[in-house]
Structure 1
Amino acid sequence: MNAVDLASLLCSRLCHDLMSPVGALNNGIELMADEQDPEMRDRCVELLADSAKATANKLKFFRLAFGAGGGFADAIDANEAKVALQGIFGAERRIEFGWMVTPEKLSKGAMKLLLNLALIAGDALVRGGRLDVGAETTQEGLEIAIRGEGPRVMLDAGLREMLTKGVPAEGQIEPRAAGAWLAQALAKEAGGAIRLSEPSPEVLIIGAIVPRN
């Protein structure tokens, strides 16, 4: 896969995730234009506010996970990753979010790796549950651990292969797998690797190590 292919996949993923909240904004505006009842107009305002917040949260997350978020500094405040993840998962009542990252700053590559692995684990909690994100610095380097637990955890074989081996032999990648490809590429570039727990209907654990330079 070349850079153009990856950019196309990331753009497709971004558009897919923004379609719902932006569509809700459009629906809310249309309802506001025709609605005269004060109570219903208040409901429309609430809908618009919720949709605008969801859109902003997703944009903030993808800017850090896929884009050039964090400016030109070599290291980024880890709290930015926490806020970004809370924006897309913590606000959802169906997913309880836990943060156990000890370093105060993360390299750009490490932050993107952490965010993409967390997104994959969160997406696998199709019926909700708990998402715990952890990272600590050891003698080997930065160790990342993501744990998702819920009544139904789904991570298909294609994503598993992408995370551990990279692009499949046939070279076909769907937009939803863009984050997995990027995570695997980031880990490989850093000289590290990604590990997955055995398939389970209730628990998914994703681990990665970013070796010291």
Structure 2
Amino acid sequence: MGGSDVNLAELIGSRICHDLISPIGAITNGLELLDMVGAVQGPEMELISGSVGSAGARIRFFRVAFGSAGDQPLGRTEVADLLKDVERAGRVRVHWNLTDAVPRNQVKLAFLALMCCESAMPMGGDVRISGHGDKWEVTGTADKLNVDGALWKHVVTGRFPNKITPAQVQFALLPESATAMGRKIAVETASTRVTLRF
């Protein structure tokens, strides 16, 4: 993928997420109204409400990870709340260890790295995201990891020997987005830990 392709992918990601978040929000509002009047109650309502909440959280997360991102700041509370909502729908616990607002394009890299870590933790685990000055580190730990060696080895260069699948797109976008920001990806893998630095 060239630089123009990444930009096009970001624009498409932003457009899809923008168009989907509105109807998801409308469904959420409708469910709240039904709950207020007591029209529908029970496990069915809880299932629908939980599913809509999870979908909305993932779309907001994807909008940052796959969408167009500049250097406008994202505050700690905004990012932490978003990650908390995403966390409810998955098996991975995320620890955002930054206290200050950070540029959206750097959060984008962190979210793509988080998705890479998630792919190696099918049984769940913990991901810690920290920043030291202009350097970032995203580390995933779990009792059991399933690390695709080819993906993790080649995420450093962004050149993969095998065709990337939709479930692996974060591995292709992370090095492309990092390069566009003048950064390089470094990787460490161990039996219970994977780390990405940029």
**Shorter chain as normaliser: what TM range?**
0.7 to 0.9
Match of 1:154 among 146, 169, 188: 146
CA distance in 1, matches of 2:145, 2:8: 27
Q: Work out whether 1:201 is the aligned partner of 2:198.
A: no
Which deviations, in whole Å up to 9, do the C-alpha atoms of 1:30-75 show, x marking residues without a partner? xxxxxxxxxx961100100110100000011001111147xx7633
Tell me the percent identity.
Answer: 20
Name the CA shift for 1:169/1:98 in 2 (closer, same or farther; >3 Å): closer
Q: Is the 8 A contact 1:144 1:207 kept in 2?
A: yes
CA distance in 2, matches of 1:110, 1:73: 8
Q: Give SS of 2:138's match.
A: strand
Report what 1:87 is aligned to.
Answer: 85
Q: CA deviation at 1:100?
A: 0.7
CA distance in 1, matches of 2:81, 2:132: 18
Report what 2:174 is aligned to.
Answer: 183
Q: Work out whether 1:122 is the aligned partner of 2:118.
A: yes
Q: Is the 8 A contact 1:154 1:201 kept in 2?
A: no
Q: Return the letter of the residue paired with 2:110.
A: L
Q: Give SS of 1:64's match.
A: helix
CA distance in 2, matches of 1:94, 1:88: 10
Name the CA shift for 1:105/1:4 in 2 (closer, same or farther; >3 Å): closer
Report what 1:49 is aligned to.
Answer: 49
CA distance in 1, matches of 2:8, 2:191: 30
CA distance in 1, matches of 2:91, 2:76: 24
CA distance in 2, matches of 1:47, 1:182: 33
Q: Return the letter of the residue paired with 2:151.
A: L
Q: Return the letter of the residue paired with 2:138.
A: I
Q: Give SS of 1:193's match.
A: coil
| TM superposition score normalised by structure 2 | 0.73
Q: Return the letter of the residue paired with 2:42.
A: D
Q: Is the 8 A contact 1:85 1:115 kept in 2?
A: no
Aligned residues: 174
CA distance in 1, matches of 2:196, 2:50: 31
CA distance in 2, matches of 1:97, 1:204: 14
Report what 1:98 is aligned to.
Answer: 95
Q: CA deviation at 1:112?
A: 0.7
How do residues 52-67 of structure 1 correspond to structure 2 at under 5 angstroms?
Answer: 52-67=52-67
CA distance in 1, matches of 2:150, 2:8: 17
Moved more, 44-53 or 77-86: 77-86
